[in-house]
Structure 1
Amino acid sequence: MSVATRKQKSADDGHAHFDRELDDLPPDLRWRGWMGRIEAVLFASAKPVSRDDLARVVGQGASVEMLIDDIQAELTGRPYELTQVAGGWMLQTKTQFADAIEAAADLGEHSLAFTEMEMGVLCAVAYHQSIDRAGLADIFGKEVSRDLLARLRYKDLIASGPRSPRPSAPHTFVTTETFLATFDLQSLRDLPELELPKP
């Protein structure tokens, strides 16, 4: 048996011990077990989890949507909620507790506080993606610093897009799934409509 085959067999054996169906439990406890699994997966993930990924931890006949509905009902009155963002699901603190969280903890490098210019650039990328630095300069009337763009990249809010058709084909910028999750958007179609100044 080759090393690759042994590794594959080992991986398969590892999954064989995971009981998705929970057939040994009565129906009500089985349902509670599936709810607990979904909540645990969401709690452990810093990014939205897709429906397909959640379906891997529950029985084949289980409705992920119904399980999520039951979890959401149980979270009523809690300071966090289960929300659908960026094509998946995640646990998020409710907005009315933002001040308390900010007052209690210094979020340090994980802080998503923005300067006015950072927010402006982020909005420009969101509405005009994919856009390069020259395109951003056209919008703001001045060059956007590489440091500012690097900060937005570090926060995983923007990423490299396709090469621009401009001469020398510079990199363009696009928003990320983290951007969608941060601003509670399911997709870019959920961005508010831009109010353009009247001529």
Structure 2
Amino acid sequence: MKPPQDHTVSDMELVALLIQSNELAFQSIYTRYAGKLYSYARKNIPLKEDCEEIVQEAFVSIWERREGLTNITALEPYLYRMVKYKIIRYFQHSAVKKRYEEHYRLFEEIYNQIESFDREPTMIQKVIDKGLSDLPARIGMAMRLRLSENLSNDDIARKMNIKKIVVEKYIGIAKKHLRATYDNLI
């Protein structure tokens, strides 16, 4: 068999060598496809470092699972699929992270309004409950779903069978009302 660095070596020959834990075959695969996979990831993800990490994870996965790669019939599409699914997971993780950041900002905004209170959880909860009870039912329900179930605006809209823009309006009204409720208590 030709040396793995030789560009005339087919992908399938490289895979066969990789399955046998041949590091040169792995390096050849990396050299052959890392740049292409990086470019592919870069079309979808703006951060260079995140793209590099995704490609790196794909190759780490290939190396770790090398002995089970016997069913690969075409290496390039296999690698692109791996990166595609890593990109999808990246966006799913980003969406979850964004939702938690949004939820944290909302709580921070409400609790900052209650700065002078003793910060006793029951007192804070009473202020929030009082404010929510004064709201129209649908607005109160939207805010409760946000606070108690940590739902995003999209999720609240689906659950309440309304449009996302209506949820955003409801949340804005609820925040404004909670601030006013707090201001009237102190």
Instruction: Please tell me the TM-score bracket, short chain as reference.
Output: under 0.3
Larger fraction in helix: 2
Larger fraction in strand: 1
Q: What's the TM-score, normalizing by structure 2? A: 0.23
